[in-house]
Structure 1
Amino acid sequence: MPSFLIRTVCKLQGWFHGILLLKETNLPEIVAYITWRIWANRNASRVGSPLLPLSQICKDALERFNEFQAAIILSLLIATVSHLTHWLPPPPLQLKANCDGAIFNGLDCAGLGIVIRNSKGSVIAALSEKVTLPPSMEDLEALAWQTSVTFAIELGL
């Protein structure tokens, strides 16, 4: 490896190490965004794409960083909001059917599951069935509902 390249890499490593030692919140990430923006601008110049003025690189990188941080915070807030749902039995003398569909990605197929319970929560009937992969998850859910109704009718329920 040429000596100038070794010196350059060592200088960059020292620069990044110094940034990490500053212990400023998000500073390494911000530096990474600025570095990426400089690199993206350089690539744009090589292929003749519009360039961001050098005076705007830091501002643009910070805007992108803040946008990314806001998206992370929003996704964390959405992920932590949980809806407490639990199964409730049907009223006395009635039955309740629960159904669902699942896609098995590695097998290129899907499955349906149906459970019918009484008011005490006891299983009256159950069905598990492998099906061909439908075009969408919505189609799979509709197929699960259709199969659930057909299953209940076949059982005389």
Structure 2
Amino acid sequence: MVRALFNPNLVQKILKLQVSVYSEDSLYWSHEKNGSFSVKSVYRNLQQNQHLSNGQSSSGRSEAVFWKSLWHLKLPKKMKVFAWRVCQEKLPTYLNLKKKHVLDDATCVLCNQARVRGSDSLLARFVAITWGLWDRRNKRIYENISMHIHVTVNNALSLQQEYAQVELFDVSNQKITKVVRWHPPPNDFLKLNIDGATFPEHSIVGIGVVLRDQYGEVVVACSKVEKEVSFVEFIEAVALLRGLQLCAQWGVPKIMLETDCLVLVNALNENSVCLTDFAFILQDIQRLMEGFQEVKLVHVNRLRNLVAYFLARHTWLIDDICMWWDYCLSFVNQALWLDKLAICKDILFE
């Protein structure tokens, strides 16, 4: 009788029902094993229906695996709930509170900055740090180079912040980004660019220093070999120290310092204590800076620091130190020409 009246798929479900002749009919919640209603089962059912309507994509399965892995982590429940709230953007951050009209100002009390889209910023930092950890692992396995964890994180965040500063324009556009151009110093200043390079196979590092005037002309340039140090920020700090020592000997009154190491710039400009591994180098730099009439320390993109970079790479060909007065060798001529070309473009488009 049942098979004759109903669809075959439905017949199977009907035949599975256990009917009692002794009890009355009652409401039963089919999405829970005990038949009792629960909000959790509703949520689970809605999620399943949504996945069915959207199709069983790999992203949906991956998301389910992710949440399952999260809730099975060997962590206190409050940490897992915190992670879930972060992923769902449910934390009471100042930005979220402003969206809910609880606060009028989303400025952070710690960094004194307002985030336009906090989730993007946090995601970018998370990806940068994750990449840094992966790079650290590869250097240890394939190059036998060990890096301290805080150095890895600082390097990754520096790279992320440097990239965020760069805006790409069409080459034909007259508004070529100023981020990637070398700019001359003010009239009464000289500009010192410094950089460092590592040569693990020789257990040495090299530093490059170039001092130029407002026209982009080289006053003095230097390539110097240093003993191998533990991480990048240390190299950059040593390069800056050597550059300041040379400028102090030359009697430079006002100087503008440029480096592509954002961590170093922040540590010196903000008196940060995050780089305690070479705090003594920072103290020496600060003492030397006090000896000049005026000092400006700024962070630049690597493309604005190419001359110092080539000078640092040149050190693998020398034994100790090489200096050039009023000129440089051919290996930096192209970079110098590009910097002078940028000055000409600045003058033309003023």
- Give the TM-score taking structure 1 as reference length: 0.51
Cα deviation, residue 100, structure 1: 2.1
Kindly indicate whether structure 1 or structure 2 has the higher relative contact order, using CA contacts under 8 Å at least 6 residues apart: 2
Aligned equivalents of 2:57, 2:218: Cα separation in 1: 58
- Decide whether aligned partners of structure 1 residues 105 and 30 sit closer, same or farther in structure 2, where only a CA change above 3 A counts: farther
- 2:272 corresponds in structure 1 to none
- 1:81 corresponds in structure 2 to 164
Aligned equivalents of 2:223, 2:119: Cα separation in 1: 39
Aligned equivalents of 1:73, 1:23: Cα separation in 2: 28
| Gaps in structure 1 of 5+ consecutive residues | 1-18, 45-49, 53-58
Aligned partner of residue 81 in structure 1, secondary structure? helix
Residues 34-79 of structure 1: CA distance to partner in whole angstroms, max 9, x if unpaired?
A: 45458x57xx7xxxxx998xxxxxx97x928927xx9776233866
Residues 16-47 of structure 1: CA distance to partner in whole angstroms, max 9, x if unpaired?
A: xxx9x5238x4132122245458x57xx7xxx
Given that residues 112 and 128 in structure 1 are in contact (C-alpha distance below 8 angstroms), is that contact kept between their aligned partners in structure 2? Answer: yes
Letter in 1 for 2:164: V
- Decide whether aligned partners of structure 1 residues 140 and 116 sit closer, same or farther in structure 2, where only a CA change above 3 A counts: same
Alignment counterpart, residue 57 of structure 2, candidates 18, 23, 45: 23
- 1:112 corresponds in structure 2 to 207
- Decide whether aligned partners of structure 1 residues 106 and 33 sit closer, same or farther in structure 2, where only a CA change above 3 A counts: farther
Aligned equivalents of 2:237, 2:76: Cα separation in 1: 50
1:134 aligns with 2:226: no
The structure in which a higher percent of residues are strand is 1
- 2:240 corresponds in structure 1 to 145
Cα deviation, residue 155, structure 1: 5.2
Cα deviation, residue 119, structure 1: 1.3
- Decide whether aligned partners of structure 1 residues 76 and 51 sit closer, same or farther in structure 2, where only a CA change above 3 A counts: closer
- Decide whether aligned partners of structure 1 residues 152 and 51 sit closer, same or farther in structure 2, where only a CA change above 3 A counts: closer
Aligned equivalents of 2:60, 2:246: Cα separation in 1: 60
Cα deviation, residue 94, structure 1: 4.2
Cα deviation, residue 116, structure 1: 0.9
Cα deviation, residue 90, structure 1: 2.3
Aligned equivalents of 2:86, 2:62: Cα separation in 1: 8
Alignment counterpart, residue 122 of structure 1, candidates 211, 217, 241: 217
How is 1:30-45 mapped onto 2 (pairs within 5 angstroms)? 30-34=63-67, 36=69
- 1:66 corresponds in structure 2 to 87
1:91 aligns with 2:186: yes
Percent of aligned pairs with the same residue?
A: 22
How many residue pairs get aligned? The number is 123
Letter in 1 for 2:223: S
- Decide whether aligned partners of structure 1 residues 51 and 128 sit closer, same or farther in structure 2, where only a CA change above 3 A counts: closer
| Gaps in structure 2 of 5+ consecutive residues | 1-51, 89-117, 126-159, 167-177, 253-350
| Higher gyration radius (CA) | 2
Letter in 2 for 1:97: L
Aligned partner of residue 87 in structure 1, secondary structure? coil
Letter in 2 for 1:132: K
Given that residues 33 and 65 in structure 1 are in contact (C-alpha distance below 8 angstroms), is that contact kept between their aligned partners in structure 2? Answer: no
- Decide whether aligned partners of structure 1 residues 73 and 91 sit closer, same or farther in structure 2, where only a CA change above 3 A counts: closer
- Decide whether aligned partners of structure 1 residues 133 and 51 sit closer, same or farther in structure 2, where only a CA change above 3 A counts: closer
Residues 70-121 of structure 1: CA distance to partner in whole angstroms, max 9, x if unpaired?
A: 9776233866632664432123364221112234456543221111111101
